Amino acid sequence: MSKTDSPCIQVCVIDPTSGLCRGCARTIEEIGAWAGMSTGERRRVMDTLAGRRAQQQQSQQ
């Protein structure tokens, strides 16, 4: 992953229940810290996103 890669899809809305962005599934803290994160830190966040998205979809049903 390059330093510029981001999961952002330009749908920036924080869900008040989960605290996750409805577009990228990151927390507001992760979004704010993204530019200063190392590649390893970004990878750790990216590795959690699929599971978070699945939880978001389940809670919307």
The structure's pTM equals 0.86
Domain ranges for the chain, please list them.
7-61
Map residue 23 onto helix, strand or coil.
coil
- Average pLDDT of the segment spanning 56-60: 84
Segment 46-55, tens digit of pLDDT: 999 999 999 9
Map residue 20 onto helix, strand or coil.
strand
Q: Which helix (H) or strand (E) holds 3?
A: none
Map residue 42 onto helix, strand or coil.
helix
Q: What's residue 4's pLDDT?
A: 55
Q: Is 21 left (phi over 0), alpha (psi -120 to 50) or beta?
A: beta
Q: What is the dihedral of CA 47, 53, 58, 59, to 10 degrees?
A: 110
Q: What's residue 21's pLDDT?
A: 97
Segment 15-49, tens digit of pLDDT: 999 999 999 999 999 999 999 999 999 999 999 99
